Amino acid sequence: MAREIERKFLVKEGDWRAAEGVRYRQGYLNSVKERVVRVRTIGDRGYLTVKGLTVGASRLEFEYEIPVRDAEQMLDELCERSLIEKDRHKVQHAGLVWEIDEFFGENQGLVVCEVELESEDQVFERPEWLREEVTGDPRYFNSNLIKHPYTRW
């Protein structure tokens, strides 16, 4: 069993753009808040992820690599619409990896970052490009962005 502890923030322009982005394409086979089942391609690799209910900043998460062709077919034929398209930039800052997601398509203009922590109360140094925290705001969950895209807010 794996537990994910992460916090999410809005992002402003900054030196994070120097980090090369990798294209992600993802969709959801199930997007109810109690259990999310996500299919994703990252470059030429495919993944299936199951996540439990978020409590505070943590939840159960199980992720498995699957054949990329299977992932692409699930994205094209089985997943709820709309799909999530984004570039992920990974930035090291003060001993942590910050994952900055720049969205495209129906979520164009949204830029958020996540940081995985060892505990919910872990103290960390904030990068200068960090804006307000949105960890507890369900509008920013990727599984909700398929139903209520950022461009329609």
Strand 45-52 relative to strand 58-66, pairing:
antiparallel
Residues tagged active-site: 28
Classify residue 44 as left (phi > 0), alpha (psi -120 to 50) or beta: alpha
Contact 146, 83 (CB under 8 A): yes
CA distance linking residue 82 with residue 105, whole number of Å: 9
Close Cβ partners of 73 (under 8 Å, ≥ 6 residues apart)? none
Contact 75, 41 (CB under 8 A): yes
